[in-house]
Amino acid sequence: MGSGLSPRYFRGHVERVWRMRVEFLSSEACRNAPAVRRLLDDCLAEADIEVQVVERLGAFRSPSVLVDGIDVVQPGDAISGDACRLDLPTREQILAALTNAMRGLGDA
């Protein structure tokens, strides 16, 4: 789970391609999930990142946005719990997490 580099072949050369993992976690009864999901799409577009968002429905603090397995609101905290969260992910938090993940490309 998480991100990593994988080879991509281009005109006989191998280049490394960053694989960012973005997840959207929600519980069925959460009324805030649709708005935060739209916000996530807007942030991905603003950051010019094309990635397939993995959507998971279950017993989570909902809604949660994870970038490379890390909660954008409370990094390091467990994501389990079947409740609507009061600390909704913000545009700034999502963009910061996406930007930090993209910076990892230069470190590899």
Per-residue model confidence as pLDDT tens digits over 6-55: 444 445 554 445 578 999 999 988 999 999 999 999 999 999 999 999 99
Residue 107 has pLDDT above 60, yes or no: no
- Residue 86 binned pLDDT confidence (cut-offs 50, 70, 90): confident
What global pTM score does this model have?
0.77
Residues 6+ apart with CB under 8 A from 58: 25, 27, 82
Domains delineated in the chain: 20-107 (3.40.30.10)
